[in-house]
Amino acid sequence: MKKGGGILTIIAASISVIMGFITLLIGGIGSAVDGDGADQVIGMGWIGIFLSFITIGFGIGVLVSKTKFPSISVFVLSILAAIFGGTLIAIFMVLSIIGGILSLIGVNKEQNQLQNSDAS
């Protein structure tokens, strides 16, 4: 479960980076035609890209780590990216949230198995 959650997180965050660039494109077009709120859309795109890249890093950390920290970080960063990144990014960050939950469950199972094998 841990590997599946990490892979799901990496894929979802990678697609979110692409969605962030699309958000920047939309904001740029809005800015070119003097649309209201275009600067906010551009800011949301940059925040979404930044948080998505960090989420990719922690998704890789989920795959190699034996602790809960990367899984919890993926969960928190995905929520923040979904809130501050805009709709296009939020759609795929939901998948990353699911990946964070799956990896957290996988880490808990691994730790329980290690404790059971040590007690024997």
Per-residue pLDDT of the chain (120 residues; tens, 9 = 90+): 888 999 999 999 999 999 999 999 999 999 999 889 889 999 999 999 999 999 999 999 999 988 889 999 999 999 999 999 889 999 999 999 999 999 989 877 777 776 777 766
Angle between helices 2-32 and 38-64 (to 10 degrees): 160
Domain residue limits at 22:
2-109
pTM, 2 dp = 0.87
In the chain, the N- to C-terminal Cα span, in Å, equals 24
Please count the structural domains in the chain: 1
Q: Does residue 100 lie within any of the structural domains?
A: yes
Q: Does residue 117 lie within any of the structural domains?
A: no
Q: Does residue 21 lie within any of the structural domains?
A: yes
Q: Does residue 32 lie within any of the structural domains?
A: yes
Strand, coil or helix: 33: coil
Q: Does residue 60 lie within any of the structural domains?
A: yes
Angle between helices 87-119 and 2-32 (to 10 degrees): 160
Q: Does residue 115 lie within any of the structural domains?
A: no
Q: Does residue 114 lie within any of the structural domains?
A: no
